Amino acid sequence: MSNPKRYLITAALPYANGLKHVGHLAGAYLPADIYVRYLKAQKRDVVFVCGSDEHGTAIPIQATKEGTTARDIIDKYHPIMAQNFQDLGIAFDIYHRTSDPLHHATAQEFFTRLNDNGDLEIKETEQYFDEEANSFLADRYIKGTCPNCSYPGAYGDQCENCGKSLSPDELINPVSTLSGKAPVKKQTRHWYLPLNRHEDFLREWILKEHANDWRSTVVGQCKSWIDGGLQPRAVTRDLDWGVSLPETVEGGKGKVLYVWFDAPIGYISATKQWALDNGKDWRPYWEDKDTKLVHFIGKDNIVFHCIIFPVMLKLHGNILPDNVPANEFLNLEGDKMSTSRNWKLEMQDYIDDFINKENGGSQMADVLRYYLTQIAPETKDSEFTWKGFQDANNSELVSIFGNFVNRALVLMHKLCKGKVPPLHPNALTDLDTSTLAEFSVTKEKVEALLEQYKFRDALFEVINLARIGNQYMQKKEPWILAKQTGEDGQPLTDAQQSIDNTLHICLQLCANLAVLINPFLPFTARKICYLLKVVDKMLDWENAGKTKLLSVGYSLRAPELLFRKIEDAEISYQLEKLQSAAIKRESLVGSSESAITNTEKIMEENTPGTLPVKPTIVFDDFAKIDLRVGKIIAAEKVEKADKLLKLTVDLGFETRTIVSGIALHFTPEEIVGKQITVVVNLAPRKMRGIESNGMILMAEDAAGKLHFINPEEGIDNGSSIS
Ligand SMILES: [Zn+2]
């Protein structure tokens, strides 16, 4: 599609069940924002919608975990997420929420139209039911062994160990997480979207029409889904949290729309709310074929945005996405990023540590945007490392980009009286001319790459223009020419003309850098405008490639550094923080979860545990845990395991060996003699060849320091705790 009348850009709706990490940012929000800023700089008609996904079982599960209500959870996380995005320069036109009545009405209307048209099927089925909790079980409330990798902690919808999508029926030995009992099958009625009816359409549309313009990773995943056989997919659930079925639907009482059905409709309700707020008509954005709809998502969302939602849109009479540039995953320091495993960098953490600090500010949002784009997982998984982050800042943003802009301004003040010098056409050299020609060459390259969603390569070209600027300045050496003075102490005419031409070209190049970097680093682009004393209007894309953006004789501000150096200490602080969060999980998890047999392997490998956050337990489950007071009577380091200590613990009735992951927090000497709390009835585990018989409980304070849980005064070892 070339030059459509309007654009509708969406970024995956994040679950409002917790803070989001930079992997999410790199996957969907940042590339979408770059694309939208580029389109807006071109003055195109574009709306950028997103919002919190506030339904689904993830929300009540988080509520249980935090001991509160689902409503409180979404009201807590929605504003934080919105603020996080804003702080990092993600400029949605609207950040809506699916709990909004407008969304409920929109989703109900959508369901009703499909149902009335006979596009849904009703089936009586048997589903897992927890008799003790008197509740049908959502997929997330069922755990069992993964049929794919044998991981014993897999959920009914997905195995977090191997990543495979599952249905509860596929789990081996399913258990309800509400009661811990095996669930029974019970009759219930549900509505289904018969995807199988649409196989021909999907084959034609994805595998033929979009075989070449969509990313091969996306087409490949779609193909394997379609080839695997499309099945009817339930669109309703027996749940009390979500969009209720319309009252007019017979037998719909007590049922809600399945979250995968209601969430993408959130893009439509967000567009409606935006239109209401701005006095616009939302319809053309979803109904006019001359709208280019682009969904930015992570690869875990491909099936929903390329197969299921398009079928829904087609049936409902809406336009289809023109492209779905899904990203692969971003790993962190050698491991998969995961909220449940505490191996992550949350946006909030970055904002707290870099942006809200006096030495950071919004400029540091651009540093993160820069690094995440430079390592964007566009074609394969990529990896965030703190060292890489530091290098990207120090050796590219500081040394190349920031350095060039700074030198141009410094030299202009020193050699050209603080004003944009004139260009002397008779004194132009081949190097001057070829450098000027690079402006439009770069613009063409960046534009072509952005149109193809190749953000990483596009950013490289912008930085390359700064690199060309540095080389140009280095070859022209205006500071040397300035020493060729006449008898009056002023530079010779020829020399001054060369100086003028050099600085003129360098300053025009700075202005071009601002226009070109704007979609990627919006704060930096505005800072350059400030230094050049021009209004933000200069950032309009039509100015890219132009060689006369700054007027001759115009005086500019004194230089200020665009980026600051990131020190080694900041990087080691972040690495320690990451490790201690993961250690905390290891020591808390210890050798527990006897059902999870690969805990031992994980501990032995000394990597962060891969255990999902534990499901809710009932009191009876808690009562099974035997907690006792013990005393550490000996401690030693475990060979080849940085984090493990081998402890000998006196429990009064016996003495035991316990291996604990606390070696980075305590030396063996300082803990001998301490009273501690021990889980004494855990099944024994072997770690590094040592059998561990129990687990030490620890508390972690806000600074990440670990503390033993011990009685105020010494009491008898073996005393029971309850
Ligand atoms: Zn698995």
Q: How far is the CA of 692 from the centre of ligand 1 (A)?
A: 27
Q: Which residue has the tokens 């002023």?
A: 490
Secondary structure (3-state) at 629: strand
Q: How far is the CA of 167 from the centre of ligand 1 (A)?
A: 12
* Distance from C-alpha of 306 to C-alpha of 211, rounded to nearest angstrom: 13
The secondary element (H helix, E strand) that includes residue 685 is strand 685-687
Q: How far is the CA of 149 from the centre of ligand 1 (A)?
A: 4
Residues 166, 146: contact at Cβ < 8 Å? Answer: yes
Q: How far is the CA of 165 from the centre of ligand 1 (A)?
A: 9
- DSSP-derived letter for residue 612 is P
Q: How far is the CA of 593 from the centre of ligand 1 (A)?
A: 17
Domain annotation covers residue 346: no
Domain annotation covers residue 395: yes
* Distance from C-alpha of 546 to C-alpha of 210, rounded to nearest angstrom: 35
Q: How far is the CA of 538 from the centre of ligand 1 (A)?
A: 53
Q: How far is the CA of 171 from the centre of ligand 1 (A)?
A: 10
Domain annotation covers residue 1: no
* Distance from C-alpha of 526 to C-alpha of 514, rounded to nearest angstrom: 7
126 and 245 both lie in a single domain: yes
247 and 270 both lie in a single domain: no
241 and 315 both lie in a single domain: no
Q: How many CA atoms does the CB half-sphere of 424 hold within 13 Å?
A: 15
123 and 71 both lie in a single domain: no
- Could you tell me the CATH number of the domain that includes residue 302? 3.40.50.620
Residues 206, 219: contact at Cβ < 8 Å? Answer: yes
Give me the mean pLDDT over the 247-266 stretch.
Answer: 93
Q: How far is the CA of 332 from the centre of ligand 1 (A)?
A: 21
Q: How far is the CA of 305 from the centre of ligand 1 (A)?
A: 23
Over residues 169-182, the pLDDT tens digits come to 999 999 998 888 99
Confidence at 501, pLDDT banded by 50, 70, 90: very high
Q: How far is the CA of 451 from the centre of ligand 1 (A)?
A: 37
398 and 469 both lie in a single domain: yes
Tokens coding 272: 């409606």
Q: How far is the CA of 684 from the centre of ligand 1 (A)?
A: 25
Q: How far is the CA of 418 from the centre of ligand 1 (A)?
A: 65
- Could you tell me the CATH number of the domain that includes residue 179? 2.170.220.10
Q: How far is the CA of 141 from the centre of ligand 1 (A)?
A: 17
Confidence at 595, pLDDT banded by 50, 70, 90: very low
Q: How far is the CA of 163 from the centre of ligand 1 (A)?
A: 6
Q: How far is the CA of 607 from the centre of ligand 1 (A)?
A: 18
Picking from 186, 171, 47, the residue whose alpha carbon sits closest to that of residue 125 is 186
CA dihedral 357, 360, 365, 366 (to 10 degrees): 180
Residues 679, 592: contact at Cβ < 8 Å? Answer: yes
Res 583: pLDDT: 62
Domain annotation covers residue 71: yes
Exposure string of 519-531, with b = 16+ CB inside 10 Å and e = fewer, is bbbbbbbbbbbeb
* Distance from C-alpha of 510 to C-alpha of 508, rounded to nearest angstrom: 5
- DSSP-derived letter for residue 594 is T
Q: How far is the CA of 161 from the centre of ligand 1 (A)?
A: 5
- In the predicted model, is pLDDT for residue 320 greater than 50? yes
Question: What are φ and ψ of residue 410, in 5° steps?
Answer: -60, -50
Q: How far is the CA of 595 from the centre of ligand 1 (A)?
A: 15
Q: How far is the CA of 148 from the centre of ligand 1 (A)?
A: 5
Among 222, 255, 288, identify where a domain stops: 255
Q: How far is the CA of 5 from the centre of ligand 1 (A)?
A: 45
Q: How far is the CA of 232 from the centre of ligand 1 (A)?
A: 23
133 and 220 both lie in a single domain: yes
309 and 242 both lie in a single domain: no
Q: How far is the CA of 610 from the centre of ligand 1 (A)?
A: 12
Domain annotation covers residue 370: no
Over residues 545-590, the pLDDT tens digits come to 999 999 999 999 999 999 999 999 999 999 999 988 876 554 444 3
Q: How far is the CA of 614 from the centre of ligand 1 (A)?
A: 17
Report the largest interatomic distance among the alpha carbons of the chain, rounded to a whole angstrom.
102
Amino acid residing at 454 = K
Total structural domains within the chain: 4
Give me the mean pLDDT over the 419-446 stretch.
Answer: 97
Provide CB contacts within 8 A for 382, sequence distance 6+. 328, 330, 331, 375, 376
Among 543, 561, 594, identify where a domain stops: 543
Length of the chain: 722
Q: How far is the CA of 718 from the centre of ligand 1 (A)?
A: 40
Q: How far is the CA of 31 from the centre of ligand 1 (A)?
A: 30
Over residues 461-499, the pLDDT tens digits come to 999 999 999 999 999 999 999 998 888 888 888 999 999
Q: Which residue has the tokens 């850009």?
A: 9
CA angle 171, 176, 179 (to 5 degrees): 160
Neighbour count for residue 459 (Cβ, 10 Å): 25
Secondary structure (3-state) at 676: strand
* Distance from C-alpha of 336 to C-alpha of 55, rounded to nearest angstrom: 26
Tokens coding 412: 């202009």
Res 485: pLDDT: 86
Secondary structure (3-state) at 268: helix
217 and 274 both lie in a single domain: no
Secondary structure (3-state) at 11: strand
Residues 709, 715: contact at Cβ < 8 Å? Answer: no
Q: How far is the CA of 179 from the centre of ligand 1 (A)?
A: 23
Q: How many CA atoms does the CB half-sphere of 447 hold within 13 Å?
A: 15
* Distance from C-alpha of 459 to C-alpha of 521, rounded to nearest angstrom: 10
Domain annotation covers residue 493: yes
Over residues 119-168, the pLDDT tens digits come to 999 999 888 999 988 888 888 889 999 999 999 999 998 888 888 889 89
Q: How far is the CA of 54 from the centre of ligand 1 (A)?
A: 27
Res 200: pLDDT: 98
Q: How far is the CA of 145 from the centre of ligand 1 (A)?
A: 8
Q: How far is the CA of 600 from the centre of ligand 1 (A)?
A: 17
The answer to whether the Cα torsion of 606, 610, 613, 616 is positive or negative is: negative
* Distance from C-alpha of 574 to C-alpha of 569, rounded to nearest angstrom: 9
Q: How many CA atoms does the CB half-sphere of 295 hold within 13 Å?
A: 27
Q: How far is the CA of 295 from the centre of ligand 1 (A)?
A: 28
Picking from 138, 135, 137, 99, the residue whose alpha carbon sits closest to that of residue 244 is 99
585 and 667 both lie in a single domain: yes
Check residues 716 and 230 and name the one with the higher pLDDT. 230
Q: How far is the CA of 73 from the centre of ligand 1 (A)?
A: 29
468 and 519 both lie in a single domain: yes
Q: How far is the CA of 131 from the centre of ligand 1 (A)?
A: 27
Confidence at 611, pLDDT banded by 50, 70, 90: very low
Domain annotation covers residue 552: no
- In the predicted model, is pLDDT for residue 250 greater than 60? yes
Q: Across all residues in the chain, what is the average pLDDT?
A: 90
Which residue range is the domain that position 597 belongs to?
A: 570-721
284 and 233 both lie in a single domain: no
Res 584: pLDDT: 58
Check residues 572 and 359 and name the one with the higher pLDDT. 572
- In the predicted model, is pLDDT for residue 105 greater than 90? yes
CA angle 260, 261, 263 (to 5 degrees): 65
Q: How far is the CA of 66 from the centre of ligand 1 (A)?
A: 27
596 and 699 both lie in a single domain: yes
Picking from 10, 85, 16, 21, the residue whose alpha carbon sits closest to that of residue 55 is 16
Check residues 120 and 689 and name the one with the higher pLDDT. 120
Res 714: pLDDT: 79
The answer to whether the Cα torsion of 111, 113, 114, 120 is positive or negative is: positive
Picking from 289, 292, 347, 316, the residue whose alpha carbon sits closest to that of residue 10 is 292
Q: How far is the CA of 150 from the centre of ligand 1 (A)?
A: 6
Q: How far is the CA of 206 from the centre of ligand 1 (A)?
A: 28
Domain annotation covers residue 551: no
Three-class DSSP labels, 23-49: HHHHHHHHHHHHHHHHHHHCCCCEEEE
Q: How far is the CA of 517 from the centre of ligand 1 (A)?
A: 42
Neighbour count for residue 702 (Cβ, 10 Å): 5
Question: What are φ and ψ of residue 337, in 5° steps?
Answer: -75, 135
Confidence at 682, pLDDT banded by 50, 70, 90: confident
Q: How far is the CA of 158 from the centre of ligand 1 (A)?
A: 8
Q: How far is the CA of 337 from the centre of ligand 1 (A)?
A: 17
Q: How far is the CA of 225 from the centre of ligand 1 (A)?
A: 18
Q: How far is the CA of 166 from the centre of ligand 1 (A)?
A: 9
* Distance from C-alpha of 671 to C-alpha of 441, rounded to nearest angstrom: 66
Three-class DSSP labels, 314-356: HHHCCCCCCECCCECCEEECCEECECCCCECCEHHHHHHHHHC
Q: Helix 522-531 to helix 403-415 angle, to the nearest 10 degrees?
A: 0
- Could you tell me the CATH number of the domain that includes residue 650? 2.40.50.140
Compute and round to an integer the Cα radius of gyration of the chain.
30
Q: How far is the CA of 594 from the centre of ligand 1 (A)?
A: 18
Among 220, 255, 290, identify where a domain stops: 255
